[in-house]
Amino acid sequence: MEGNQAFVEGDYAKDIDYYKELLKGQNPHAMLIGCCDSRVVPEITCHAKPGEIFVHRNIGNIVPPGDWNIGTFLEYGIRHLKVNTLVVCGHEECGAMKALSSGESGDDVLIPGWLSHAHTALELVEKRGKKPSDPEEARKWQSELEIENVKLQLKNLRTYPVVREAEDAGRLQVIGLYYRMSTAKLEVIDPGKPLKTG
């Protein structure tokens, strides 16, 4: 509540006309599937205002095929909001990918099943070599896994007809990004097919 009061008296009061305009509806220019890690906030890292990015966040920025939650996000964003840029964004030091690579689930019931949708990425990275014991090399290996997970989730996105049809028609550009927390910079993993113009 204190934080909200600070927002009301600060940003909201300074830009009240912008916030009042948002009452008329949303018109985001991009939609993003990102990790729900509290250290990685797309609106902040992309320097975006409310209303600019249509965001879905979950543990590990995962896109399970046939998932109703993801499916409704995609359908609404592409068909109703007419967003033409769809991003999957992974990040450095992702706890979900660390849990996946550790193979330990403890007493968790739901998390292992969710992370199974990223297992193919782990298999691919492990084929290149097991996780090194050296801490610095282990970080690089972990980063490779996080990047491979982005690539895998881009493939999973295309199992949804609404994504496949819009991309094939040139109305949607599907992009893979990676946020490196150590530099605060976004890296392009896959630029996607360009949109058709005209």
Give 78-128 pLDDT, tens digit per residue.
Answer: 999 999 999 999 999 999 999 999 988 788 999 999 999 999 999 999 999
State residue 192's pLDDT score: 95
Which domains occur in the chain, in start order? 28-190 (3.40.1050.10)
The DSSP code sequence of 55-101 is: EEEETTS---TT-HHHHHHHHIIIIIS---EEEEEEETT-HHHHHHH
183/92 Cα distance (integer angstroms): 10
pLDDT digits (tens, 9 = 90+) for 35-81: 999 999 999 999 999 999 999 999 999 999 999 999 999 999 999 99
Beta bridge partners of 35: 58
State how far the Cα of 108 lies from the Cα of 35, in Å rounded to an integer.
19
